């Protein structure tokens, strides 16, 4: 083998190493979309993948000369199975109850095939260089390919193509490497008819999958969601799915229900009306963390209308909305289904949107807010768990006015009793007074909130709060669909099976909340 041939094989190794990492990231991401818990599924996939890379390396010793046709054959198989891996997992999740068995099998097969690549290429190159230089070159190209894949997946492939189409693209890259070597080394492959036939069939299958990936993804989604899917979008941060059945419009993020138009007003009135009714004062500045769908903001403007009518001196001066996903906010601002629900609240002249991580925004913030509304997803992984941590709440306390308050959605005190009270106790570790409450939201069940005050004045006792809420809700100037004089005070009472229990405080170091959350919902799955 000459220098040119060895160089081309090393370049092939660079590309194939990137493909292997891309498959690993793809399988982890699909599993997270389908079952949540990114740490668990990335850990499982990475552990399995590395193990079966070792299995593939061990099995490669049983492959004898000639090695080149065997290498091309492995690339064709890897392209075929890797290209269809996302589809296999999506359909397997819809049809079978043993998803982890399918995850194990897919990861094992792809990992074993990928594990054979480096030993085979090393053996093919062993006559071109000294052992010391050969190992250095092989490992350098291997690690460089891993770096390239790790950058391309979140920055290019996932946001532009989504999981299904990315899988087929990577499969086609594997296939193209096989074709390239089949053509470049054609003089050394005297009897390659079967490989040529397999390469043609593999290319047709992968190309068909790529060009029909939207239809295939739609078919997989139709199996996963009960209602008609009217919109899907892959953003750099999450997969959005909007469904509709009669008058019920639902938004799913990474497979998790975010709201149902049938009853979302119950959640948002509890999240927005109660804290603003407690805090009502002159010229309020409000910060909303999350809430990219604009529904919380809609109720903020309803309360602003109440303040203006009830007391002209009380009004909302400004609202800063912080959401990581600009695509989500743009969709809520322009899609007719969203604008009908949120009353075009995102276009209000007093709103300023910030597209960044809430943790980063709060850390850099120097403005003081009278009310901070936290409308973030549940703490399913550490990336979200940090936004429910003692450290985050400590930073938030520096961002609220001396008589201000913070309200956070706190998951279900029934389905996730330990996580709910963990959030409560974490807030108590930072704020002098924290009051929990909950409401019934049929799509989610019993749902909880915690309101934390910057000071523990007499105005912030439960009795004083109940009195103020009753006065507000009874006003003829306020418009509610759920909250009444009769039910608003009942929100602060807890039953025996949802009442307070001991929990640890959630910190960046222990991430207790994420562990409690996973454990709680496993009981109901």
Instruction: Say if CB 393 and CB 431 are below 8 A apart.
Output: yes
CA distance linking residue 33 with residue 41, whole number of Å: 10
Secondary structure of residue 241 in the 3-state scheme: strand
CA distance linking residue 406 with residue 371, whole number of Å: 6
CA distance linking residue 482 with residue 484, whole number of Å: 7
Secondary structure of residue 500 in the 3-state scheme: coil
Other C-beta atoms lying within 10 Å of the C-beta of residue 397: 17
The dihedrals phi and psi of 491, each to the nearest 5 degrees, come to -60, -25
For strands 369-375 and 433-441, give the pairing.
unpaired
Q: Where are the beta strands (DSSP E) in 323-444?
A: 351-354, 369-375, 400-409, 433-441
Strands across the sheet containing 256-260: 228-234, 239-245, 248-253, 256-260
Strands across the sheet containing 351-354: 351-354, 316-322, 284-290, 369-375, 400-409, 445-453, 433-441
Instruction: Say if CB 431 and CB 515 are below 8 A apart.
Output: no
Tell me whether residue 375 is one of the annotated catalytic residues: yes
Query: The dihedral of CA 329, 331, 336, 340: what is its sign?
Result: negative
- DSSP lists the bridge partners of residue 229 as 243
Instruction: Determine which helix (DSSP H) or strand (DSSP E) holds 34, and give its type and residue range.
Output: helix 3-35
Instruction: Say if CB 55 and CB 111 are below 8 A apart.
Output: yes
What's the DSSP call for residue 271? Answer: I
Report how far apart, in Å, the C-alpha atoms of 234 and of each of 157, 159, 291, 341 are. Answer: 10, 6, 18, 22
State the catalytic residue, choosing from 323, 375, 378, 446. 375
- In degrees, rounded to 5, the angle at the alpha carbon of residue 129 between the alpha carbons of residues 123 and 131 is 70
Query: Looking up tokens 């999240």, which residue turns up?
Result: 271
CA distance linking residue 241 with residue 171, whole number of Å: 26
For strands 400-409 and 445-453, give the pairing.
antiparallel
The dihedrals phi and psi of 409, each to the nearest 5 degrees, come to -65, 145
- Residue 286 region by backbone torsions, left for phi larger than 0, else alpha for psi between -120 and 50, else beta: beta
For strands 369-375 and 400-409, give the pairing.
parallel
Catalytic positions, please?
Answer: 375
């Amino acid at each position: 083998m000459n220098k040119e041939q060895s160089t081309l094989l090393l370049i092939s190794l660079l590309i194939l190493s990137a493909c292997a990492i891309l498959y690993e990231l793809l399988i982890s991401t699909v599993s997270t979309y389908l079952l949540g818990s990114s740490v668990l599924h990335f850990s499982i996939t990475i552990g399995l993948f590395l193990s079966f890379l070792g299995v593939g390396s061990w099995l490669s010793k049983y492959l004898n000369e000639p090695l080149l046709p065997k290498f091309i054959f492995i690339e064709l198989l890897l392209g075929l199975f890797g290209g269809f891996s996302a589809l296999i997992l999506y359909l397997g999740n819809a049809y079978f109850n043993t998803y982890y068995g399918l995850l194990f099998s897919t990861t094992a097969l792809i990992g074993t095939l990928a594990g054979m690549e480096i030993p085979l290429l090393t053996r093919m190159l062993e006559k071109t260089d000294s052992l010391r230089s050969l190992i250095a070159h092989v490992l350098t190209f291997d690690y460089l390919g891993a770096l390239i894949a790790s950058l391309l997946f979140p920055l290019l492939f996932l946001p532009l193509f989504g999981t299904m189409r990315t899988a087929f693209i990577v499969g086609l890259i594997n296939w193209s490497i096989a074709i390239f070597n089949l053509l470049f080394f054609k003089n050394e492959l005297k009897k390659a008819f079967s490989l040529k036939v397999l390469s043609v069939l593999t290319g047709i299958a992968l190309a068909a999958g790529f060009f029909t990936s939207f239809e295939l993804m739609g078919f997989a989604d139709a199996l996963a969601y009960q209602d008609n899917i009217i919109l899907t979008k892959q953003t750099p941060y999450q997969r959005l799915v909007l469904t509709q059945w009669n008058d019920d419009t639902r938004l799913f993020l990474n497979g998790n229900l975010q709201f149902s138009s049938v009853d979302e007003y119950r959640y948002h009135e509890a999240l927005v009306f109660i804290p603003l009714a407690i805090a009502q004062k002159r010229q309020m500045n409000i910060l909303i963390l999350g809430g990219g769908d604009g529904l919380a903001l809609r109720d903020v403007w309803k309360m602003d209308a109440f303040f203006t009518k009830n007391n002209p001196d009380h009004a909302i001066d400004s609202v800063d909305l912080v959401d990581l996903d600009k695509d989500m906010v743009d969709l809520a601002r322009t899609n007719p289904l969203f604008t009908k629900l949120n009353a075009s609240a995102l276009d209000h002249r007093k709103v300023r949107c910030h597209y960044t991580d809430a943790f980063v925004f709060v850390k850099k913030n120097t403005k003081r807010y009278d009310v901070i509304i936290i409308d973030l997803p549940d703490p399913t992984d550490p990336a979200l768990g940090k936004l429910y941590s003692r450290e985050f709440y400590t930073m938030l306390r520096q961002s609220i006015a001396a008589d201000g308050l913070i309200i956070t959605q706190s998951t279900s005190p029934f389905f996730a009793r330990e996580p709910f009270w963990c959030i409560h106790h974490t807030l108590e570790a930072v704020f002098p007074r924290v009051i929990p409450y909950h409401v019934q939201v049929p799509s989610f069940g019993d749902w909880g909130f915690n309101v934390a005050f910057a000071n523990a004045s007499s105005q912030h006792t439960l009795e004083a709060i109940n009195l103020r809420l009753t006065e507000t809700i009874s006003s003829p100037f306020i418009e509610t669909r759920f909250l009444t004089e009769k039910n608003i005070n009942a929100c602060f009472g807890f039953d025996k099976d949802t009442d307070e229990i001991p929990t640890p405080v959630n910190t960046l170091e222990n991430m207790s909340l994420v562990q409690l959350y996973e454990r709680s919902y496993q009981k109901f799955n």
